[in-house]
Amino acid sequence: MNMEQYPFIFSDELKYRLRRHISFWVFWWLFQAFLYSFLGLNGHFNYWWYLLDSVIESAIFLSVHIFLAYSLNYFVIPRFLLRQKYWQTALLVILLFLVGASISALLSFWVIRPLRMYMLHERWDVTPSVYSFIRALMAGLRGGITIAGIAATIKLMKYWYTKERKNLQLQKENAEAQLQLLKAQVHPHFLFNTLNNIYSYTQNTSAQASKLVMGLSDMLRYMLYECNQPVVSLAKDLKMLKDYCVLEQIRYDNRLDLHIDLPENVDDLYIAPLLLLPFVENCFKHGVSNMLDQPWMSMRVSVENDIMKMDLVNGKPLSANITSSDKSGIGIVNVRKRLALLYPDKHELQITSEEEVFIVNLSVALERKQNNVKSFSRNIISSHG
């Protein structure tokens, strides 16, 4: 099933969401009204009065059902159940059902009873007994569990279906990316042998050119061979970033004021490969390359409690007009998607474009190497598609 073909079911646009919710509650209201209009009916009374009374009562109880359903779907399920906080989920569900049943019981005594006495001329005890209150409580509990259970089931089914579709889409994109990588890996030995030959020729003629070739060779080797895994060592990924910045600094004839601050002893932390590089590339493409006088860039990466924080700042000319499309180019858009898929609820990204500077603040909760890198990688794949 293509989700785009069924916007009424899957779209998050406000108009479709309103239609879904209104349709659901109108159906439930009318269903309850017709179902309970037959209860207590006898042959000596007009059915239409019972139906009218049932319609009004269902509308009154609907407020309790809406409270239960939305409390479960938009508070308990996303904040506790989906985060695997099962004990808290169970306690909150029980508490919500008891609160809902109590409200229903109070409505039965103080609203529904006077309504029936007026419309159907039924007689009730003036003072409710404990037994009648328990019966009303059980009735409210039954109705609350029914509708909240239905609403929660629909919510979870839609959540898991959407997640599965995203996982399939991610697998498709990964397959396409691997295909492109395979195309780019045609005769890699020829490429590296050629670079090694150029390196040997330039050693005696130009130390700067030799350094450039060696740095480029190391970067290509890392991208082609080590980035095939779901995760890579944070230390290696940061080293590649540093090498890239150094190559850029040489390209600018050392006019580039470059400040790099990287953490040490992070070999046991792992991150998705090439997740940070597009941000650095973006700094050079839209900022540093446009500055004719004193281009500069600052990159600081720190790790605390297994949370990596990257603060990236670069200058840009006053005349530069960095549009929203520049700030969200293909590279940055892809990184946003990867962060959302690989690190849901485990990252924060803020991109700020000011008059003279461009700022990227990124924090990602990383995983520490356990006994086995392969098992860690499988956990990443199974958890996030």
Domain CATH for 377:
3.30.565.10
pLDDT above 60 (res 301):
yes
Pair (153, 275) in one structural domain: no
Token pair recorded at residue 104: 């229903």
Q: What is the mean pLDDT of residues 293-322?
A: 81
Does 112 fall in a domain? Answer: yes
User: What proportion of the chain, given as a percentage, has pLDDT over 70?
Assistant: 77
Pair (7, 119) in one structural domain: yes
Q: Which of 50-64, 248-262, 299-313 has the highest mean pLDDT?
A: 299-313
Least confident window among 11-20, 32-41, 81-90, 123-132: 123-132
d(CA 301, CA 264): 10
Token pair recorded at residue 152: 């929660």
In angstroms, the Cα distances linking 114 to 32, 41, 65, 129 are 20, 18, 21, 16
Q: Give the end of a domain, one of 171, 195, 228.
A: 171
Residue 238: the pLDDT is 92
Q: Give the end of a domain, one of 171, 192, 220.
A: 171
Does 221 fall in a domain? Answer: no
Residue 348: the pLDDT is 94
The answer to whether the beta carbons of residues 112 and 60 sit under 8 Å apart is yes
Question: How many CB atoms sit inside 10 A of residue 151's CB?
Answer: 22
Pair (155, 267) in one structural domain: no
Q: What is the mean pLDDT of residues 306-335?
A: 69
Helix ranges (H only) for 187-256 are 188-203, 207-221, 234-251
Contacts of 116 by beta carbon, 8 Å cutoff, 6+ apart: 53, 122, 124
Stronger pLDDT, 318 or 385, i.e. the higher one: 318
Does 228 fall in a domain? Answer: no
Does 194 fall in a domain? Answer: no
Pair (39, 161) in one structural domain: yes
Contacts of 4 by beta carbon, 8 Å cutoff, 6+ apart: 10
Nearest CA among 226, 214, 278, 303 for reference residue 250: 214
Q: Give the end of a domain, one of 117, 149, 171.
A: 171
* Distance between first and last Cα of the chain: 19
Token pair recorded at residue 217: 């060779």
Query: pLDDT-based confidence at 321, cuts 50/70/90?
Result: very low
Tally the domains of the chain: 2
Inter-helix orientation angle 277-286/330-342, to 10°: 160
Interval 164-186: pLDDT, tens: 888 888 877 777 776 666 555 54
**Residue 143 is part of which domain span?**
3-171
Q: What is the mean pLDDT of residues 324-329?
A: 44
Residue 383: the pLDDT is 42
Contacts of 318 by beta carbon, 8 Å cutoff, 6+ apart: 355, 356
Interval 205-242: pLDDT, tens: 777 677 777 777 888 888 777 777 888 899 999 988 88
The continuous run of DSSP H or E covering 269 comes out as strand 269-271
Pair (167, 20) in one structural domain: yes
Residue 139: the pLDDT is 83
Does 68 fall in a domain? Answer: yes
Interval 39-76: pLDDT, tens: 655 554 567 777 887 888 888 989 899 999 999 999 99
Residue 323: the pLDDT is 41
User: What proportion of the chain, given as a percentage, has pLDDT over 90?
Assistant: 19
